[in-house]
Amino acid sequence: MFFLTMYIMLLTLDDYKPTWQDHLTTPAYNDSYQVPTNVNCKPDQFFIQEDSGKVRNNPKRSCQFNRTLLQDCSGVSDRFYGYSQGKPCVLIKLNRVIGMLPGKDRQSPYVTCGAKREDSDDIGPLAYFPPNGTFNLMYYPYYGKEAQVNYTQPLVAVQFLNASLNVDIDVECKIWPNTLLEGSERDKFAGRVSFRLRINEK
């Protein structure tokens, strides 16, 4: 009876779309890997790759996310990501959700960060990479690691250029426009992340 139950359960699983989605390993972000492996896509539009009825269009292609897009926070010119200079970079990503089309009215989602009210004088100016802190639409939708084996998750880097030293700064970063359901039971912090930043004087 057990084997029959397991057999029936396995028939309901899809090799290309997991029932439960979780964290996946991070692929190589180097330009030398991206250029020959992934497509140089047209920006600001979804990269939709339809299946033909029941015939799967696999493997699906992926758009290049070159590390150099993160400029001063790429780790190329500064392997310490600004930490050795007291100008730390923080990398932000969206969770991979199969089939998600983020943004609103064809506007790419973007990140903004700020200090909690009591720390607003301490945070100083910020720089975002890529410019404006955008997750370009061309990286979506994501089709799953079986269907889209070379997918490279886009990142946004936030650099703290002149934060106050020797103080704790409570920072919150948000995604705009946030098409995720805020305060959902699964994730009460959907579309935002909070952390504490402290830069000590040498």
One digit per residue, the tens of pLDDT, for the chain of length 202 reads 666 676 666 666 666 555 554 444 444 678 888 889 999 999 999 999 988 888 788 889 999 999 999 999 999 889 899 999 999 999 999 888 889 888 888 889 999 999 987 778 899 999 999 999 999 999 999 999 888 988 999 999 999 999 999 999 999 999 987 665 554 556 667 788 999 999 998 7
Q: CA 140 from chain center: how many Å?
A: 11
Q: What's residue 18's pLDDT?
A: 56
Q: What is the pTM of this model?
A: 0.80
How crowded is the C-beta side of 196, counted as CA atoms within 13 Å?
Answer: 6
**Angle at CA of residue 95, ends 90 and 100, nearest 5°:** 135
Amino acid at 98: I
Domains of the chain by residue range: 29-44+58-198
Please enumerate in sequence order all residues whose Cβ is within 8 A of that of 118, keeping only pairs 6 or more positions apart, or say none. Answer: 170
Q: How far apart are CA 98 and CA 83, in angstroms?
A: 34
Q: Do residues 64 and 35 touch, judged by C-beta distance below 8 A?
A: yes
Q: What's residue 96's pLDDT?
A: 87
Q: How far apart are CA 53 and CA 6, in angstroms?
A: 28
Q: How far apart are CA 34 and CA 148, in angstroms?
A: 14
CATH of domain 29-44+58-198: 2.60.40.1660
Q: Do residues 128 and 174 touch, judged by C-beta distance below 8 A?
A: no
Q: What's residue 22's pLDDT?
A: 45
**What are the distances in angstroms from CA 49 to CA 59, 97, 103?**
10, 16, 19
Sign of torsion over alpha carbons 183, 106, 149, 74: negative
Q: What's residue 69's pLDDT?
A: 93
Per DSSP (E only), the strands in 99-167 are 110-115, 126-129, 156-160
Please enumerate in sequence order all residues whose Cβ is within 8 A of that of 56, keeping only pairs 6 or more positions apart, or say none. Answer: 16, 147
Q: At residue 102, what are phi and psi to the nearest 5 degrees?
A: -75, 175
Tell me whether residue 137 is exposed, middle or buried, using C-beta atoms within 10 angstroms of its C-beta: 0 to 12, 13 to 18, 19 or more: buried
Amino acid at 175: I
